[in-house]
Amino acid sequence: MDAEVVLAKVAELPIQRWRYKGADASAHMGPVAEDFHAAFGLGGDERYIGTVDADGVALAAIQALAALAEEQRGELEALRRDLDAQRAETAWLHEALAARPGDRADARVPRALEEELR
């Protein structure tokens, strides 16, 4: 069982409001049993969704989301480190330009570019 595949199937599973045939007027929300069975092939009958099957699918999808969040957290940390390094380099370049002999007005980075670099 691949949790990422389960998550992809959950994402594609139609979720809707429905009522049991011949039952009272209370409405339910979720996938219909036929769609759930077609997506996951669980349970012995496509007329019902077993709670243990629904729980298992939900837990597998949650695990896939947790793994994805952890992966994205690592990517975000790497991007933040890169951004910090670029900001430090930009600050160094600003200082180097400001310290250049000659016409300092010409050595300054235009304000619009400076704002964009932030």
pLDDT at 104: 54
pLDDT at 5: 96
At 42, list the tokens: 């669980």
Range of the domain at 58: 3-117
At 2, list the tokens: 């691949």
Q: Assess whether pLDDT exceeds 60 at residue 105.
A: no
Domain count across the chain:
1
Q: Assess whether pLDDT exceeds 60 at residue 83.
A: yes
pLDDT at 100: 76
Q: Assess whether pLDDT exceeds 60 at residue 106.
A: no
Cα–Cα distance between 15 and 69 in angstroms, integer? 24
Q: Assess whether pLDDT exceeds 70 at residue 10.
A: yes
CA torsion through residues 103, 105, 110, 115, sign = positive
- pTM (2 d.p.): 0.70
Q: Tell me which residue of 45, 10, 13, 51 sits closest to 32, measured CA to CA.
A: 13
